[in-house]
Amino acid sequence: MRYIVYGAGAIGSAIGALLQRSGREVTLIARGAQLDALQRDGLTLETPGGDETLSVSAVGSPADAEIGSNDIVLLAMKTQDTAIALDALAAVAHARTPIVCAQNGVENERLALRQFENVYAMYVFSPCEFVSPGITRIYAAAPAGILDLGRLPGGADERAEEIASELMSAGYDSRPLDDPMRWKYSKLLDNLGNAVQALCGSHDDGTDVLNARARDEGIECFSVAGIEYTSLEERRERTAGLKLREVHGDGHRGGSSWQSLVRGTGTIEASYLNGEIALLGRLHGVPTPVNETLERLAARAAREGMRPGSMTAAEVAAEIERV
Protein backbone atom coordinates (compact mmCIF):
# COMPACT_ATOMS: atom_id res chain seq x y z
CA MET A 1 0.00 0.00 0.00
CA ARG A 2 1.36 3.38 -1.04
CA TYR A 3 0.32 6.78 0.28
CA ILE A 4 -0.14 9.56 -2.26
CA VAL A 5 -0.02 12.88 -0.39
CA TYR A 6 -1.75 15.38 -2.64
CA GLY A 7 -0.82 18.84 -1.45
CA ALA A 8 2.68 18.78 0.03
CA GLY A 9 2.47 21.88 2.19
CA ALA A 10 3.03 21.95 5.94
CA ILE A 11 0.60 19.20 6.99
CA GLY A 12 1.01 17.07 3.87
CA SER A 13 4.80 17.14 3.94
CA ALA A 14 4.87 16.28 7.65
CA ILE A 15 2.53 13.32 7.28
CA GLY A 16 4.33 12.07 4.20
CA ALA A 17 7.77 12.39 5.80
CA LEU A 18 6.83 10.57 8.99
CA LEU A 19 5.06 7.80 7.10
CA GLN A 20 8.11 7.32 4.86
CA ARG A 21 10.46 7.38 7.83
CA SER A 22 8.43 4.57 9.40
CA GLY A 23 8.89 2.41 6.31
CA ARG A 24 5.80 3.22 4.23
CA GLU A 25 5.98 3.97 0.53
CA VAL A 26 5.02 7.60 -0.08
CA THR A 27 4.70 9.88 -3.09
CA LEU A 28 4.19 13.61 -2.65
CA ILE A 29 2.31 15.74 -5.18
CA ALA A 30 3.54 19.31 -5.05
CA ARG A 31 3.85 22.34 -7.30
CA GLY A 32 6.06 25.31 -8.06
CA ALA A 33 9.07 26.03 -5.89
CA GLN A 34 8.08 23.33 -3.42
CA LEU A 35 8.19 20.65 -6.13
CA ASP A 36 11.54 21.93 -7.41
CA ALA A 37 13.04 21.85 -3.90
CA LEU A 38 11.71 18.39 -3.07
CA GLN A 39 13.05 16.92 -6.30
CA ARG A 40 16.40 18.70 -6.03
CA ASP A 41 17.19 18.64 -2.31
CA GLY A 42 14.69 16.29 -0.67
CA LEU A 43 12.47 17.19 2.28
CA THR A 44 14.02 18.64 5.42
CA LEU A 45 11.96 17.98 8.54
CA GLU A 46 12.68 20.23 11.52
CA THR A 47 11.40 18.82 14.82
CA PRO A 48 12.03 19.26 18.56
CA GLY A 49 14.33 16.24 18.31
CA GLY A 50 16.50 17.68 15.53
CA ASP A 51 16.58 18.08 11.77
CA GLU A 52 16.51 15.35 9.15
CA THR A 53 16.56 15.44 5.36
CA LEU A 54 14.74 12.69 3.51
CA SER A 55 15.02 11.76 -0.13
CA VAL A 56 11.39 11.72 -1.27
CA SER A 57 9.41 10.80 -4.35
CA ALA A 58 7.77 14.04 -5.54
CA VAL A 59 5.76 14.65 -8.70
CA GLY A 60 3.76 17.53 -10.09
CA SER A 61 0.38 15.97 -10.80
CA PRO A 62 -1.82 12.92 -10.13
CA ALA A 63 -1.06 11.71 -13.64
CA ASP A 64 2.65 11.65 -12.84
CA ALA A 65 1.97 9.69 -9.62
CA GLU A 66 0.63 6.67 -11.57
CA ILE A 67 -1.98 5.89 -8.92
CA GLY A 68 -2.72 2.17 -8.56
CA SER A 69 -5.55 0.12 -7.06
CA ASN A 70 -3.77 -0.33 -3.71
CA ASP A 71 -2.85 3.33 -3.22
CA ILE A 72 -4.42 5.68 -0.69
CA VAL A 73 -4.69 9.39 -1.51
CA LEU A 74 -4.42 11.93 1.32
CA LEU A 75 -5.77 15.34 0.34
CA ALA A 76 -3.83 18.06 2.17
CA MET A 77 -4.38 21.18 0.09
CA LYS A 78 -6.50 24.14 1.26
CA THR A 79 -10.22 23.78 0.54
CA GLN A 80 -10.22 26.52 -2.11
CA ASP A 81 -7.96 24.26 -4.20
CA THR A 82 -9.82 20.98 -3.62
CA ALA A 83 -12.32 20.99 -6.49
CA ILE A 84 -9.68 21.51 -9.18
CA ALA A 85 -7.40 18.96 -7.52
CA LEU A 86 -10.19 16.36 -7.46
CA ASP A 87 -10.90 16.89 -11.14
CA ALA A 88 -7.26 16.14 -11.95
CA LEU A 89 -7.33 13.14 -9.63
CA ALA A 90 -10.57 11.71 -11.05
CA ALA A 91 -9.10 11.84 -14.57
CA VAL A 92 -6.47 9.22 -13.66
CA ALA A 93 -7.66 7.38 -10.52
CA HIS A 94 -10.40 4.77 -10.13
CA ALA A 95 -13.61 5.91 -8.45
CA ARG A 96 -12.98 3.36 -5.68
CA THR A 97 -9.58 4.86 -4.76
CA PRO A 98 -9.63 5.65 -1.02
CA ILE A 99 -9.53 9.42 -0.42
CA VAL A 100 -8.59 10.77 3.02
CA CYS A 101 -9.44 14.44 3.61
CA ALA A 102 -6.69 15.62 5.96
CA GLN A 103 -8.02 19.18 5.77
CA ASN A 104 -9.80 21.86 7.76
CA GLY A 105 -13.44 22.64 7.17
CA VAL A 106 -16.35 20.35 6.31
CA GLU A 107 -16.74 20.82 2.56
CA ASN A 108 -13.87 18.68 1.26
CA GLU A 109 -15.58 15.38 1.98
CA ARG A 110 -18.72 16.46 0.09
CA LEU A 111 -16.58 17.48 -2.89
CA ALA A 112 -14.69 14.18 -2.85
CA LEU A 113 -17.86 12.08 -2.57
CA ARG A 114 -19.10 13.53 -5.86
CA GLN A 115 -16.33 11.66 -7.70
CA PHE A 116 -15.06 8.93 -5.34
CA GLU A 117 -16.82 6.15 -3.41
CA ASN A 118 -14.45 5.60 -0.49
CA VAL A 119 -13.97 8.91 1.29
CA TYR A 120 -12.55 9.31 4.79
CA ALA A 121 -12.82 12.40 6.98
CA MET A 122 -9.73 13.12 9.08
CA TYR A 123 -9.65 15.25 12.22
CA VAL A 124 -6.25 16.98 12.06
CA PHE A 125 -4.64 18.54 15.11
CA SER A 126 -0.98 18.96 14.21
CA PRO A 127 1.18 22.05 14.83
CA CYS A 128 3.18 22.36 11.62
CA GLU A 129 4.66 25.18 9.58
CA PHE A 130 5.86 25.54 6.00
CA VAL A 131 9.21 27.25 6.60
CA SER A 132 10.38 27.55 3.00
CA PRO A 133 10.35 25.32 -0.10
CA GLY A 134 11.61 21.90 0.94
CA ILE A 135 11.57 22.66 4.68
CA THR A 136 8.71 21.74 7.04
CA ARG A 137 8.65 22.18 10.80
CA ILE A 138 6.71 20.14 13.39
CA TYR A 139 6.31 21.74 16.82
CA ALA A 140 5.44 18.54 18.70
CA ALA A 141 6.92 15.12 19.31
CA ALA A 142 5.61 11.86 20.75
CA PRO A 143 3.06 12.37 19.33
CA ALA A 144 3.72 14.67 16.40
CA GLY A 145 0.00 15.36 16.12
CA ILE A 146 -3.48 13.84 16.24
CA LEU A 147 -4.92 12.32 13.06
CA ASP A 148 -8.24 10.53 13.69
CA LEU A 149 -10.33 9.30 10.78
CA GLY A 150 -13.45 7.47 9.71
CA ARG A 151 -15.30 6.60 6.50
CA LEU A 152 -18.31 8.48 5.17
CA PRO A 153 -20.72 6.94 5.82
CA GLY A 154 -19.89 4.04 8.10
CA GLY A 155 -17.17 5.38 10.35
CA ALA A 156 -14.46 3.08 11.69
CA ASP A 157 -14.07 0.39 9.03
CA GLU A 158 -11.13 -1.95 8.46
CA ARG A 159 -9.28 0.48 6.23
CA ALA A 160 -9.60 3.30 8.77
CA GLU A 161 -8.19 0.99 11.42
CA GLU A 162 -5.27 0.05 9.17
CA ILE A 163 -4.45 3.68 8.32
CA ALA A 164 -4.68 4.69 11.98
CA SER A 165 -2.33 1.86 12.92
CA GLU A 166 0.25 2.95 10.35
CA LEU A 167 -0.01 6.58 11.45
CA MET A 168 0.58 5.46 15.04
CA SER A 169 3.70 3.65 13.89
CA ALA A 170 4.81 6.84 12.15
CA GLY A 171 4.66 8.85 15.38
CA TYR A 172 1.14 10.27 15.36
CA ASP A 173 -1.71 9.63 17.77
CA SER A 174 -4.42 8.23 15.50
CA ARG A 175 -7.73 6.50 16.14
CA PRO A 176 -10.52 5.21 13.89
CA LEU A 177 -13.71 7.20 14.40
CA ASP A 178 -17.35 6.20 14.10
CA ASP A 179 -18.36 9.89 13.93
CA PRO A 180 -15.59 11.76 12.10
CA MET A 181 -17.72 14.71 10.99
CA ARG A 182 -18.79 15.37 14.57
CA TRP A 183 -15.10 15.99 15.30
CA LYS A 184 -14.55 18.00 12.14
CA TYR A 185 -17.46 20.32 12.94
CA SER A 186 -15.93 20.94 16.35
CA LYS A 187 -12.59 21.70 14.69
CA LEU A 188 -14.43 24.14 12.44
CA LEU A 189 -15.49 26.09 15.52
CA ASP A 190 -11.84 26.30 16.59
CA ASN A 191 -10.79 27.37 13.08
CA LEU A 192 -13.17 30.35 13.04
CA GLY A 193 -10.41 32.22 14.86
CA ASN A 194 -7.89 31.56 12.07
CA ALA A 195 -8.99 34.71 10.25
CA VAL A 196 -8.72 36.74 13.46
CA GLN A 197 -5.14 35.56 13.98
CA ALA A 198 -4.24 36.28 10.36
CA LEU A 199 -5.74 39.78 10.45
CA CYS A 200 -4.69 40.87 13.95
CA GLY A 201 -1.74 38.68 14.87
CA SER A 202 -1.45 36.79 18.15
CA HIS A 203 -0.74 39.60 20.59
CA ASP A 204 -3.80 41.88 20.37
CA ASP A 205 -5.81 41.68 23.59
CA GLY A 206 -9.08 42.14 21.70
CA THR A 207 -8.78 38.95 19.66
CA ASP A 208 -10.25 36.74 22.39
CA VAL A 209 -13.53 38.66 22.20
CA LEU A 210 -13.64 38.35 18.40
CA ASN A 211 -12.91 34.63 18.58
CA ALA A 212 -15.68 34.11 21.13
CA ARG A 213 -18.19 36.07 19.05
CA ALA A 214 -17.36 34.09 15.90
CA ARG A 215 -17.64 30.84 17.83
CA ASP A 216 -20.99 31.82 19.39
CA GLU A 217 -22.41 32.44 15.92
CA GLY A 218 -21.17 29.02 14.82
CA ILE A 219 -22.73 27.27 17.79
CA GLU A 220 -26.06 29.03 17.15
CA CYS A 221 -25.99 27.93 13.50
CA PHE A 222 -25.18 24.34 14.48
CA SER A 223 -28.04 24.35 16.96
CA VAL A 224 -30.62 25.61 14.46
CA ALA A 225 -29.32 23.30 11.70
CA GLY A 226 -29.22 20.24 13.99
CA ILE A 227 -25.49 19.68 13.49
CA GLU A 228 -23.72 17.61 16.15
CA TYR A 229 -20.20 18.43 17.30
CA THR A 230 -17.90 17.32 20.08
CA SER A 231 -17.82 19.29 23.29
CA LEU A 232 -14.92 21.46 24.37
CA GLU A 233 -14.25 18.96 27.18
CA GLU A 234 -14.00 16.07 24.69
CA ARG A 235 -11.54 17.98 22.54
CA ARG A 236 -9.42 19.02 25.49
CA GLU A 237 -9.26 15.43 26.71
CA ARG A 238 -8.34 14.19 23.23
CA THR A 239 -5.54 16.72 22.76
CA ALA A 240 -4.19 16.71 26.33
CA GLY A 241 -1.25 14.48 25.39
CA LEU A 242 -0.03 16.78 22.61
CA LYS A 243 2.72 19.06 23.89
CA LEU A 244 4.05 21.98 21.87
CA ARG A 245 7.82 22.34 21.76
CA GLU A 246 10.19 24.99 20.41
CA VAL A 247 12.18 24.26 17.26
CA HIS A 248 15.38 26.25 16.68
CA GLY A 249 14.30 28.54 19.52
CA ASP A 250 10.93 29.36 17.93
CA GLY A 251 7.47 28.38 19.12
CA HIS A 252 4.52 27.66 16.85
CA ARG A 253 3.79 31.10 15.42
CA GLY A 254 0.49 30.77 13.59
CA GLY A 255 -2.09 28.55 11.95
CA SER A 256 -2.86 27.84 8.32
CA SER A 257 -4.50 31.20 7.50
CA TRP A 258 -1.67 33.11 9.18
CA GLN A 259 0.79 31.09 7.10
CA SER A 260 -1.13 31.90 3.90
CA LEU A 261 -0.59 35.62 4.51
CA VAL A 262 3.06 35.10 5.48
CA ARG A 263 3.68 33.20 2.26
CA GLY A 264 1.70 35.65 0.15
CA THR A 265 -0.24 32.90 -1.62
CA GLY A 266 -2.99 35.29 -2.71
CA THR A 267 -5.74 33.05 -1.33
CA ILE A 268 -7.00 32.09 2.12
CA GLU A 269 -9.33 29.43 3.47
CA ALA A 270 -11.75 31.77 5.25
CA SER A 271 -14.56 31.19 2.74
CA TYR A 272 -14.70 27.55 3.86
CA LEU A 273 -14.29 28.28 7.57
CA ASN A 274 -16.04 31.54 8.47
CA GLY A 275 -17.89 31.26 5.17
CA GLU A 276 -19.36 27.92 6.24
CA ILE A 277 -21.02 29.67 9.19
CA ALA A 278 -22.22 32.48 6.92
CA LEU A 279 -23.72 29.84 4.62
CA LEU A 280 -25.49 28.06 7.47
CA GLY A 281 -26.76 31.39 8.77
CA ARG A 282 -28.28 32.30 5.43
CA LEU A 283 -29.86 28.88 5.03
CA HIS A 284 -31.38 28.87 8.50
CA GLY A 285 -32.10 32.53 9.21
CA VAL A 286 -29.32 33.10 11.76
CA PRO A 287 -27.48 36.45 11.65
CA THR A 288 -23.71 35.95 11.32
CA PRO A 289 -22.16 39.43 10.99
CA VAL A 290 -18.92 38.45 12.74
CA ASN A 291 -18.10 35.52 10.47
CA GLU A 292 -19.30 37.34 7.35
CA THR A 293 -16.97 40.25 8.14
CA LEU A 294 -14.02 38.00 9.00
CA GLU A 295 -14.46 36.12 5.72
CA ARG A 296 -14.55 39.36 3.72
CA LEU A 297 -11.59 40.97 5.49
CA ALA A 298 -9.45 37.83 5.31
CA ALA A 299 -10.13 37.43 1.58
CA ARG A 300 -9.17 41.07 1.01
CA ALA A 301 -5.99 40.66 3.06
CA ALA A 302 -4.92 37.66 0.97
CA ARG A 303 -5.86 39.32 -2.31
CA GLU A 304 -3.98 42.54 -1.50
CA GLY A 305 -0.91 40.81 -0.07
CA MET A 306 -1.36 42.14 3.47
CA ARG A 307 0.86 40.78 6.24
CA PRO A 308 -0.47 39.12 9.40
CA GLY A 309 -1.36 41.66 12.05
CA SER A 310 -2.21 44.39 9.52
CA MET A 311 -5.41 45.24 11.43
CA THR A 312 -6.19 45.69 15.10
CA ALA A 313 -9.01 43.88 16.84
CA ALA A 314 -10.69 47.24 17.37
CA GLU A 315 -10.62 47.93 13.63
CA VAL A 316 -12.12 44.52 12.89
CA ALA A 317 -14.79 45.09 15.54
CA ALA A 318 -15.65 48.42 13.93
CA GLU A 319 -16.08 46.70 10.57
CA ILE A 320 -18.45 44.20 12.19
CA GLU A 321 -20.51 47.02 13.68
CA ARG A 322 -20.75 48.61 10.23
CA VAL A 323 -22.32 45.38 8.94
Give me the average pLDDT of each 10-residue run along the chain (323 residues). 97 98 98 98 97 98 96 98 98 98 98 98 97 98 97 95 98 98 97 97 90 98 98 95 95 94 96 98 98 98 97 97 91
pLDDT value, residue 323: 85
pTM greater than 0.95:
yes
Of 122, 125, 106, residue with least CA distance to 237 = 125
Helix (H, G, I), strand (E, B) or coil at 129: strand
Asked if 17 and 171 touch (Cβ cutoff 8 Å), the reply is no
3-state helix, strand, coil in the chain (%, to 5): 45, 20, 35
Note the pLDDT of residue 203: 80
The pLDDT assigned to 205 comes to 85
Measured CA to CA, the distance from residue 52 to residue 221 in angstroms comes to 45
The dihedral region occupied by 154, where left means phi > 0, alpha psi between -120 and 50, and beta the remainder, is left
Residue 202: what pLDDT? 83
Q: Which residues pair with 136 in a beta bridge?
A: 45, 130
Is 26 in contact with 3 (CB distance < 8 Å)?
Answer: yes
Q: pLDDT at position 154, please? A: 87
> In whole angstroms, what is the distance from residue 272 CA to residue 188 CA?
9
The conformational region for residue 3 under phi > 0 = left, psi -120 to 50 = alpha, else beta, is beta
Mapped onto helix, strand or coil, the DSSP state of residue 18 is helix
Position 204 scores a pLDDT of: 82
